[in-house]
């Protein structure tokens, strides 16, 4: 049970099934599929909970590290702290059975379907759940266990399918709640009062300063999203950029943006897999792609970086990660990011060892990502009624859960956000200090 209840992000995060929701026809298909499944319901049975069922929620509460909250059954009986941060309500006996059998999958599915409710601020409740689980893991630290798991496939075909599952839900959907540049990765808050738009621009510029870009240099970007970083590099640093991505919707948006900015002579957006990158470049950058590469491909990616970088080349990898290797939980793998794997730093070293690179800097922006996800959640809630019209109530609950749980999990340290700067091992031209990275960093560039 404890092994399955590793993280509330992985217990709760949720996303729509692999349906092309970008087109009106796709959205209607999504709704029809949901109508054929069990309907969203908050109804509770009339029978009282059995003695065994009351015993089970006591056991679950203990195994979850006794978080400061209530777990309540459908008849009002419960366990936990009534003055805690909130209440988790199991609406049906079947919900309890599913949680006992496979909590990593069932929590998110039951919340999404409305058979599990959260009374209180969702994000705050999930923070407390994560802290309880951390206490439970610490109590069992004297009982080491070997983690064995099967890697997901990251073939060219599978990678394309995985990207489509999440990123091709439609630009209109993401435009509703992302920042004005549609940056879907961790922001960087140089000041406590910085808003999301400012923080995302600050992140783009921070990456450029870490790369120490110079006018006329050539940069290759693996996984470019909607094009914000490529546009920022070309427009503000005068570099030539080749950026690749597997998402058709994102590439189309990026190309249109580059044309509007008059940057088509400086940026080439390529709809292709990173494994097909070629040419010679002064800098390599990847923001938010490594999670989808798969550790079994890290050495190949390292060799590719070595092949495309000049003798004085350098690079930056920005990736969600972990403090220790763990498999992605089945809920996240099934509904959110199929095949994704947030790596540990030890795993990330396979990118650099044996490929002729030296790691120059590692920074953890974990708390920046906790706030980024919280900002996304707040913006999502403001437009939830529009998203409900695009999809349905179940979809809204899945995404609310995903964003709240992501923020909670970064805050409690179960996930990290690593930025790793590297260069050729023989490159002696890099500055000896980081002072240029932080010069005027609190200004939040507006470009």
Residues whose CB is less than 8 angstroms from the CB of residue 200 and which lie 6 or more positions away in sequence, other chains included: 179, 181, 183, 187, 188, 228
pLDDT at 376: 98
pLDDT of residue 139: 81
Distance CA 100, CA 4 (A): 10
Q: Encoding tokens for residue 223?
A: 């996984």
Q: What is the 3-state secondary structure (H, E, C) of the chain?
A: CCCCCCCHHHHHCCCCCCCCCCCHHHHHHHHHHHHHCCCCCCCCCCCCCCHHHHHHHHHHHHHCCCCCCEEECCCCCEEECCCCCCEEEECCHHHHHHHHHCHHHHHHHHHHHCCEEEECCHHHHHHHHHHHHHHHHHHCCCCCCCCCCCCCCCCHHHHHHHHHHHHCCCHHHHHCCCCCCCCCCCCCCCCCCCCHHHHHHHHHHHHHHHHCCCCCCEEEEECCCCCHHHHHHHHHHCCEEEEEECCHHHHHHHHHHHHHHCCCCCEEEEECCHHHCCCCEEEEEEECCHHHCCHHHHHHHHHHHHHHEEEEEEEEEEEEEECCCCCCCHHHHHHCCCCCCCCEHHHHHHHCCCCCEEEEEEEECHHHHHHHHHHHHHHHHHCHHHHHHHCCHHHHHHHHHHHHHHHHHHHCCCCEEEEEEEEECCCCCCCCCCHHHHCCHHHCCCC
Given this structure, which CATH class describes domain 8-139? alpha beta
The domain spans of the chain are 8-139, 156-443
pLDDT of residue 349: 98
* Residue 18: predicted pLDDT: 33
- The string of pLDDT tens digits covering residues 36-56 is 344 444 555 669 999 999 999
Residues of the chain with pLDDT under 50: 1-27, 29-30, 32-41, 144-149, 158-165, 447
What is the model's pLDDT at position 135?
93
| Dihedral sign for Cα atoms in the order 50, 56, 62, 66 | negative
Res 127: pLDDT: 98
Backbone angles phi, psi at 281, to 5 degrees: -140, 155
pLDDT tens for each residue of 51-81: 999 999 999 999 999 999 999 999 999 999 9
CATH class of the domain comprising 156-443: alpha beta
Q: In a 10 Å sphere around its CB, with 0-12 CB exposed, 13-18 middle and 19+ buried, how is residue 263 labelled?
A: middle
| pLDDT of amino acid 187 | 98
Rg, the chain, Cα only: 23
Return the closest-CA partner of residue 17 out of 1, 2, 5, 34: 34
pLDDT score at 163:
46
Q: Report the C-alpha gap between 251 and 192 in whole angstroms.
A: 33
């Amino acid at each position: 049970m404890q092994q399955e209840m590793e993280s509330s992000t992985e217990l709760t995060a949720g996303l729509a099934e692999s349906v092309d929701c970008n087109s009106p026809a796709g959205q209607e298909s999504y709704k029809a599929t949901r109508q054929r499944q069990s309907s969203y319901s908050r109804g509770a049975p009339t029978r009282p909970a059995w003695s065994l069922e009351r015993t089970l929620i006591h056991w679950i509460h203990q195994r979850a590290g006794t978080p400061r909250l209530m777990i309540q059954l459908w008849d009002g009986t419960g366990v936990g702290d009534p003055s805690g941060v909130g209440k988790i309500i199991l609406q049906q006996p079947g919900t309890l059975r599913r949680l006992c059998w496979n909590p990593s999958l069932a929590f998110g599915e039951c919340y999404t379907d409305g058979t599990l409710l959260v009374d209180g601020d969702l994000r705050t409740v999930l923070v407390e759940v994560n802290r309880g689980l951390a206490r439970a893991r610490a109590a069992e630290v004297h009982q080491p266990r070997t983690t064995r798991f099967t890697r997901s496939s990251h073939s060219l075909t599978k990678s394309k399918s995985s990207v489509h599952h999440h990123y091709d839900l439609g630009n209109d959907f993401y435009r509703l709640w992302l920042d004005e540049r549609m940056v879907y990765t961790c922001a960087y808050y140089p000041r406590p009062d910085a808003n999301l738009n400012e923080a995302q621009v600050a992140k783009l510029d921070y990456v450029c300063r870490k790369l120490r870009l110079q006018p006329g240099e050539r940069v290759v970007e693996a996984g470019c999203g909607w094009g914000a970083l490529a546009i920022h590099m070309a427009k503000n640093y005068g570099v030539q950029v080749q950026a690749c991505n597997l998402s058709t919707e994102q590439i189309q948006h990026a190309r249109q943006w580059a044309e509007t900015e008059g940057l088509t002579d400086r940026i080439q957006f390529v709809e292709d897999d990173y494994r097909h990158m070629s040419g010679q470049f002064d800098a390599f950058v990847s923001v938010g792609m490594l999670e989808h590469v798969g550790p079994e491909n890290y050495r190949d990616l390292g060799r590719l970086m070595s092949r495309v970088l000049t003798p004085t080349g350098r690079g930056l990898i920005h990736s969600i990660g972990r403090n220790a290797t763990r498999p992605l939980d089945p809920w996240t793998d099934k509904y959110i990011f199929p095949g994704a794997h947030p790596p540990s730093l030890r795993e990330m070293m396979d990118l650099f060892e044996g490929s002729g690179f030296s790691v120059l800097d590692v920074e953890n922006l974990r708390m920046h990502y906790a706030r980024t996800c919280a900002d996304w959640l707040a913006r999502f809630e403001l437009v939830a009624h529009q998203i409900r019209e695009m999809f349905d109530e179940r979809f809204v609950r899945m995404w609310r859960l995903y964003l709240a749980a992501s923020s909670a999990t970064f805050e409690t340290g179960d996930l990290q956000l690593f930025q790793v700067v590297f260069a050729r091992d023989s490159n002696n031209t890099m500055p000896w200090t980081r002072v240029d990275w932080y010069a005027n960093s609190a200004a939040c560039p507006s470009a």
